[in-house]
Structure 1
Amino acid sequence: MGLNLRIIVHIMGLLLLCNGGFMLVAALVSGIYMDGATLDLAMAAIVTLLVGVMAMFYTRGHRKEVKRKEGYIIVTFGWLVMSLSGVLPYLFSGAVPSVTDAFFETISGYTTTGASILNDIESLPKGILFWRSLTHWIGGMGIIVLAIAILPLLGIGGMQLFAAEAPGPGGDKLHPRITDTAKRLWFIYVGYTVAETILLKLAGMSFFDAMNHALATLSTGGFSTKNGSVAYWNNQPIIQYIIIVFMFLAGTNFVISYFAFTKKIQRVIKDEEFKVYSFFIIGFTLVAFFIVLLQADVQISEYHPQVWGKTESAFRHALFQVLAIVTTTGFVTADFTNWTPFLTVFFFGLMFLGGSAGSTSGGIKVMRHLLIIKNGILEFKRTLHTNAIIPVRYNNKTVTEHIVYNIIAFFVLYMLLFIIGALVLAFLGLDFESAIGGAASSLGNVGPALGDLNPVVNFSELPAFGKWWCGFLMLLGRLELFTVLILFTPFFWKRT
């Protein structure tokens, strides 16, 4: 039996309806602020909705069965369809007149990368800025669905462990509890977004800025409404500390938040990934803090005496940038590439870490690093005890060899794609630092990079092919590599 193309097109139509609905919300925001882009956003929404309705209407007699092949196609093409339709608000309004630039900005949003080609963000209509932030939030919400309901069923390495911890997925078929699980995690996602919006508003942000930064934080996206990103509020530490808290939560497995809210605190405390994730944040922050304090110049907050101000500012900038890079949120309070050469390399290394599995973060993920390290240590024991069966254990459960091999393959493939990504960018004329920074940032969905793509610049000067290439890397990284790359293998398309 061949591919069930009708169900694939039907789901694409459903995604377009969702996208069109979100565009109407952006049009509403535009109308409230009377920014002149309301009609453009409404037209983009209508076009998207019409295409979605036609796709669903002509495939209404589809066979209600999604197998693995259809699953891979739906996940990959779903992100592409959302991104391609998501360019319409930019093009219709003239905010980003180039198709290449509009696609880059859109896919950077949906993949929650946060890299931008816009040079004057503050001049854009508020409706467009809100749409830009919404693309983050939609992408982050979609990743939760993937992690909970889809990737484990497709056999994507590493996510099976997360699925085992989540109160839902199991077996080869969708279980009714998966829907319940996704709803609960969406509720937490929305709740965190609302809570951060309120807190940022109380801390001194305008409601519009608070709402947009909450959307970007919880999705670990990083699009800001200010040209200087969060550095705009360097003299309002409380705003940056609020964002710090929610970046940490966004980079944590959302199931951990679910356990915390249901008073299963022991499950939170005993979770290995959460402990390692927290330890990494603390350890890396201390390293960055002492180097920033002793060697780098940071802006001293006007709210504190001179000595305490320098200490507090150094700690805040260090903690903020460590979290922004590890969780792949990508907000900026300072250009860390100008601090010291050591810290430039240090933060470049953090681009490969990533947050927790089951979070909205990009990157390799803490859990994969943890299991690779555990397996590496056990190899020494296996060398000494050649006949012993010594399995890798995670949260006191044995990890199957299949998952271990899959994670190792993922890591090797990730590094290979990083090298290829950097080589392509170098071939296009970028210098060494910019090429490796751009590849690592795009593949890890980080946002800021190095060299000519550093945190206070953007990707606007990339050649056209470079922007499409970085967009491809963003999609690869966001969808766990295998999901996209398997579509390029000849055996995937063979009839079975």
Structure 2
Amino acid sequence: MRTITSLNYKIIFHLLGLLLLVNGGFMLLAALISLLYKDGVVLQMVLAGSTTLVIGGSVMLLTRSHRKEIHKRDGYVIVSFGWITMALVGTLPYLFTGAIPGFANAFFETMSGYTTTGASILSDIESLPKGVLFWRSITHWIGGMGIIVLAIAILPLLGIGGMQLFTAEAPGVGGDKLHPRITDTAKRLWIIYVGYTVAETILLKVAGMNLFDAMNHSLSTLSTGGFSTKNTSVAFWNDSPIIQYIIIVFMFLAGTNFVLSYFAFKKRFSRIFQDDEFKWYVGMIAVFTVVVSLLIYFKADVSLSSVEHPMVWGAFESALRHGMFQVVAIITTTGFVSADYTLWTPFLTVVFFGLMFLGGSAGSTAGGVKIVRHLIMIKNGILEFKRTLHPNAILPVRYNNRAVQQPIVYNILGFFILYMLSFIMGVLVFSWLGLDYRTALGGAASTLGNVGPALGDLGPVNNFGSIPTAAKWWASFLMLIGRLELFTVLILLTPFFWRNR
């Protein structure tokens, strides 16, 4: 008796072709930006988009007679190879325009875009054509909402640790759910995602950014990506506090479960304030903002840290703003930079390194471990003390006043162990490839958590361009597995996955 169904290759390739069509469409949109700004690379961008459309259309045409049935194994392959395929083809605008020399560099930049990591190999971003810059930002935007759709439609079905909790809050039958149909749920979240992007663009434009910079930073913010159109990232606008406050607000929203945004628009505020993860999310940001801001104000050498002193509302406002900005940017894994936080005392450097393992909310565009997983592990750890004293008592972990099924708890614990093992392996490989220990530690934490800026030679004012080619490929792999919740990719490396019996 066959226990595992064989892969439905036709539906897999058909959906990969569909992803290429989407990719090609956005490339042509970037070509339109090139045309509007007359940046000299219109033909190259059109060629990249057309090539992608032809490949995608051909694949879909050849696989049109597929079985409309997706099993669990098909889902793993579609998700993993979908991201890889989009990253491979997403290099074409960089290669055709010559904006990024070398396939390894182009692939790194593209993977960093789709996984919303924000790490870059570019040293002079402002010299790139406008169409290429827009394409760079749009890869963030596609990948950002792509992970939301995955979280709703696919990851819970695959049993990814913690995502079952999210799906309990999103699709399903009942008055407290968004909508019983997954497609309608995804549609509603897409509307919120687009709405936030438009709103931030307008606000940044009104606050003083030009329209192009406002669009690009909105695309990067809502995806919690971190690509900027400026070499110094958001530090370019250190003399415009309102711009940085606007970005802080939208980074916070992007790192929040998008289902809660839906409840907010439906005026179901009680659902928001009763959500355990949201309360911890807000609490952690508040606590770390206070700690970081006070240390910047009293301890940091502002002449070295790029924190302007004094400003409109004084030195404390500046410390508070930069502290809040970097805390939110790291926790939500957006990775924007308003100052070089590695110069804010060694203690704060360690604090930001630790925040790279926190992550935003489940059902957000943020990367990392996710707060809900930390919360479940903490609650389970506390219950272990009680279970030791009362071994016969039934003491379930409770989340949002509901008991969490034990398999989910085990899955979350397994995920965290696998995450830490992946981090350790990441550090070891980076060290073996020649990176010093600080750079290896920061690089592994940043790429696996999809954060962007790291430590050492990969700090906030540096980039990944100087690391060896092999290290760029390894970093790309870490970005991929981190973004797709580890299990989704790593299970493909096991021999039993490919057996039909």
Given that 1:235 and 1:303 are in contact with CA atoms closer than 8 Å, whether structure 2 keeps it comes out as no
Q: Distance in 2 between matches of 1:304 and 1:294?
A: 16
Indicate which of 165, 175, 187 corresponds to 1:161. 165
Q: Which residue of 1 aligns with 2:337?
A: 332
Contact map agreement 1:21 1:45 (CA 8 A) in 2:
yes
Q: Does residue 1:225 correspond to 2:199, yes or no?
A: no
- Cα 1:52/1:169, change in 2 over 3 Å: farther
Aligned match for 1:364, one of 343, 363, 369? 369
Query: Displacement, 1:169?
Result: 8.0
**1:240 aligns to what?**
244
413, 419, 425: which is aligned to 1:420?
425
CA distance in 1, matches of 2:292, 2:278: 21
**CA spacing shift, 1:276–1:124, aligned 2, 3 Å:** same
The answer to whether the 8 A contact 1:149-1:169 is kept is no
Matches of 2:378 and 2:110 in 1, distance apart?
36
What TM-score, normalized to structure 2?
A: 0.96
Secondary structure, aligned partner of 2:360: coil
For the residue of structure 1 that corresponds to 2:285, the secondary structure is helix
Q: Deviations over 1:310-335 (max 9, x none)?
A: 10110000000000000000000011
Using the size of structure 1 for normalisation, the TM-score is 0.97
Residue of structure 1 aligned with 2:261, choices 257, 277, 280: 257
Task: For 1:41, give the aligned amino acid.
Answer: M
Q: Deviations over 1:396-423 (max 9, x none)?
A: 1110110000000000110010000000
Q: Does 1:208 align with 2:212?
A: yes
Identity %: 70
Q: 1:304 offset after TM fit, Å?
A: 3.7
Number of the residue aligned with 2:192: 188
Shift of 1:297: 3.0
Distance 2:476 2:47 in 1: 26
The letter of the residue matching 2:476 is: G
RMSD: 1.2
CA contact (8 A) 1:236 1:301 kept: no
- Residue 487 of structure 1 pairs with residue 492 of structure 2: yes
Question: 1:385, 1:483 → 2: CA distance?
Answer: 37
**Partner in structure 2 of residue 80 of structure 1:** 84
Counterpart for residue 294 of structure 2: 290
1:83 deviates by 0.3
Name which of 368, 377, 391 aligns with 1:386.
391
Q: 1:39 aligns with which of 43, 47, 54?
A: 43
State the Cα distance separating 1:97 from its structure 2 match. Answer: 1.8
Matched, 1:120 2:124: yes
Contiguous gaps of at least 5 residues in structure 2: none
Closer/same/farther in 2, CA of residues 90 and 300 from structure 1, 3 Å limit: closer
Task: For structure 1, list consecutive stretches of 5 or more residues without a partner in the other structure.
Answer: none
Moved more, 149-158 or 347-356: 149-158
Whether the 8 Å contact between 2:171 and 2:180 is mirrored in structure 1 is no
Contact residue 158 and residue 406 of structure 1 kept, 8 A: yes
Deviation at 1:167, TM superposition (A): 3.6
Tell me the distance in 2 between the aligned counterparts of 1:169 and 1:467: 45
Q: What is the letter of the counterpart of residue 55 of structure 1?
A: V
| Aligned residues of 2:311 and 2:318 also touching (Cα < 8 A) | no
Shift of 1:309: 1.9
1:179 maps to which of 180, 183, 198: 183
Structure 1 residues 414 and 294: alpha-carbon distance in aligned structure 2, compared to 1, 3 A threshold: same
Which residue is 1:396 aligned to? 401
Aligned length: 490
Over 3 Å counting, the alpha-carbon distance change for 1:352 and 1:169 in structure 2 is farther
Deviations 1:206-243 (A, max 9, x none): 00000000000000000000000000000000000000
Q: Is contact 1:120-1:227 (8 Å) kept?
A: yes
| 1:423-451 Cα deviation digits (max 9, x unpaired) | 00001111110000000000000000000
* Deviation per residue, 1:342-379 (Å, 9 max, x gap): 00100000000000000000000000000000000000
Q: Partners of 1:254 and 1:484 in 2: how far apart?
A: 24
- Does the 8 Å CA contact 1:163/1:169 hold for their aligned counterparts? no
Equivalent residue runs for 1:436-475 within 5 Å: 436-475=441-480
Find the aligned partners of 2:31 and 2:173 in 1 and give their Cα distance. Answer: 37
1:134 to 128, 131, 138: 138
Q: CA offsets, 1:5-29, max 9 Å, x none?
A: 0000000000000000000000001
